[in-house]
Amino acid sequence: MKDTMIGVDLAKNVLQVHGASMTGEVKFRKKLSRPQFHKFMADHPPCVVVLESCGGAHYWARQMVKFGHRVKLIAPQYVKPFVKRQKNDAADAEAIVIAAQRPEMRFVEPKTQEQQARAVLFRARERLVRHRTELVNALRAVMYEYGHVFPLGIANLKRIEATLEGSNGELPELALEACRDLILQIAEKTARIEAKTKKAKVLSKNADLTRQLQTMPGVGPLTALAIEAFAPPMSSFKCGRDFAAWLGLVPRQHSSGGKARLGRISKAGQADIRRLLIIGAMMRLNWLGRKSIRPGSWLARMLERKPRMLVAIALANKMARAIWAMMTHNEDYRDPTQAAAAV
């Protein structure tokens, strides 16, 4: 395992394999079909196998571990700078090996089957929500063409239905039929979304990790499920700030000459967890959530002098760091203001 590294450029049918020593000397280059690649890696002595973190990579990572290999997954954007002049499968496989041999390179943790199953559930619900939003907007657009204006949001659906029922011939029969069909589709999507949400809540309630995460204010079942499904082990981060940076909740830097220039948040990490943490932070800053904010606390001082959205992002950053601490130390959430008062 110490003297050979194999880089694999994954594809649906034909996989390119590049074998090299740890010093970079090329040992072999092969183009294999999926069955051939499976047999080749099963017969090969244990070595380091490097894959790009793309479609099918986590499946192949688990297969390589079964064969006794040590697996590393690398993000595609970290491989691209090492591709030589011509872009092809062989050059990509070679670039994967060159990138993986860099001592400062960062790698992606392989996911388990259970993690991917939870991710599938989360993505299925998100897809249904997007489809329902598209249908609601289409319904609003039809009503707008006939002089009826409705605000954004699914909460106004009942108003639209009431308007359709009391139209008294204002809308042509074809338009009424189309609108009723859209309402039926929205109802069907809503039922499926509720079923997915219920299943997510059951999963979040039964697992110790997700139950523990929900002890933090602003973290609900969907946020806890997303963290369990998409976040790598917290041991891969040195501190909570690294986890917040991985989520993209830190300012983008454009510093030079010793002068720090910070911009908007980088949005460079996992979008689902970042979005849900910001939503949870906004819920803590609305008129009901503000009642629990202690006067003179960090959050209260921030709200006095900063826009609410900026405060929400700063709070989401704090929540991410607290989540890292909770998962690292296997503890429930402890309110820092209450802990300070107890001392």
pTM listed for this prediction:
0.84
Residue 307 pLDDT greater than 70, yes or no: yes
Q: Which residue has the higher pLDDT, 334 or 121?
A: 121
Selection from 106, 59, 62 nearest residue 238 by Cα? 106
- Considering only 50-59, 217-226, 246-255, which range has the smallest mean pLDDT? 246-255
CB count in 10 Å sphere of residue 301: 12
d(CA 117, CA 114): 5
- Beta pairing class for 262-265 and 251-253: antiparallel
Residue 209 pLDDT greater than 50, yes or no: yes
Residue 225 pLDDT greater than 90, yes or no: yes
Helix axes 113-145, 173-206, angle to 10 degrees: 160
d(CA 180, CA 66): 54
What is the rounded average pLDDT of the residues 83-95?
A: 91
Residue 340 pLDDT greater than 80, yes or no: no
Q: Do 49 and 6 meet the contact criterion of CB atoms below 8 Å apart?
A: yes
Quote the pLDDT of residue 342: 47
What is the percent of the chain with per-residue pLDDT over 90, rounded to a whole number? 66
Q: Do 18 and 92 meet the contact criterion of CB atoms below 8 Å apart?
A: no
Residue 65 pLDDT greater than 80, yes or no: yes
Q: What is the mean pLDDT of the chain?
A: 90
d(CA 36, CA 218): 49
Tell me the HSE value of 237 on the side-chain side, using a 13 A CA sphere. 20
d(CA 47, CA 71): 9
Q: Do 122 and 226 meet the contact criterion of CB atoms below 8 Å apart?
A: yes
Per residue in 98-136, pLDDT (tens digit) is 999 999 999 999 999 999 999 999 999 999 999 999 999
Q: Do 224 and 327 meet the contact criterion of CB atoms below 8 Å apart?
A: no
Cα maximum dimension of the chain: 81
